Copies of this chain bind each other. A is one copy, B any other.
């Protein structure tokens, strides 16, 4: 009934060998090898005692954990949770434990987690999701990131930080309205520095979606995908577009927007600057931006491209709430092909990104199991009922 954890030395004793031999038999030491019969005896003893190694102890002795850190903005977001599923699968295959951090869009937390991963000597770390781009002056202070890290005072510390109970260990709430700049957030470049430090300390790194410095990254061909989408829609007869473009400074959003508008310009149907609307990268962002479009004078475009599916769904809701309908009054397209949204009605035209696969790729990359250091994943346009082919001679009202 009672059962204090079985240790390696117990196994060794049970098998009648020394601790060292037991260790070698079980983990298959690199240099040394063990005679077959002894090895068998040890394994047998281990099995009998239901031994399994203590990860903390191994981590300490080896100077490296068996943990893979995964940092996402919000695990409840289907975009990230699908990536997480891919990472979880790949990590399990690699015998690694996934350590999850949902930063809730706080770059302080993101940074703190990277520091923690280094401290904890995680095997690798994967950062998913873009960061807002700051003013982006040259990183004046050079490499030295004075104090942006997880220090003992707890002010920038995250899970597992300083020992003082739970009372003061918590991360201060970031002022959620303050954009990433000025003195508030971590110094620009701090994340990159932390990641480099982690890497230099022997950890594997992979980013998803957006490169930072020269770090390994699984890029998503946002611009290309959006351009493909634009061409497909143009081919369907659409000519007047608007874009719900996400927030300024959001790299992913910007790439999708520019890919889309760029392709249209080439096709001779440029999108007027007024028809590119900045808005939050969320459902509500899509909703209100679309409402703005509806209410504004000048009539609706033929098609509205929201830079992600969640926004697109918000936009469709806005259309319905205004008593209009998709695609009769306005067509809508999104990006990502979120699986859970596959059945919205009308079916949402979008660009499919194999998110789970992206997670797996990132894991391989972080673990150094793939050749290069940069992989690009290209999406695939999926045309559905939200953007039907326009009848040849459809009226094309000009603004």
Report the minimum CB–CB distance from A157 to chain B (whole Å): 7
Binds B, one of A143-151, A183-191, A220-228, A234-242: A143-151
Whether A166 pairs with B100 at a CB distance below 8 angstroms is no
Inter-chain contacts of A78 with B (CB < 8 A)? 76, 78, 81, 340
Binds B, one of A113-121, A252-260, A268-276: A113-121
Whether A152 pairs with B102 at a CB distance below 8 angstroms is no
Whether A152 pairs with B46 at a CB distance below 8 angstroms is yes
Q: Mark out the residues of chain A between 176 and 234 whose CB falls within 8 Å of any chain B CB in the assembled complex.
A: 197, 200-201
Whether B101 pairs with A100 at a CB distance below 8 angstroms is no
For the side of the interface on A, what is the size category? 35 or more
A283 at the A/B interface (Cβ < 8 Å)? yes
* B interface footprint on A128-164 (CB within 8 Å = 1, 0 otherwise): 0000000000000001000101111100011111111
A93 at the A/B interface (Cβ < 8 Å)? yes
A3 at the A/B interface (Cβ < 8 Å)? yes
Inter-chain contacts of A247 with B (CB < 8 A)? none
Assuming A97-B160, A161-B52, is B76 touching A84 (CB within 8 A)? Answer: yes
Whether B157 pairs with A52 at a CB distance below 8 angstroms is yes
Q: Mark out the residues of chain A between 276 and 312 whose CB falls within 8 Å of any chain B CB in the assembled complex.
A: 283, 310
**Closest 7 A-B residue pairs measured CB to CB?**
A27-B163, A81-B81, A76-B85, A46-B152, A56-B59, A88-B102, A95-B169
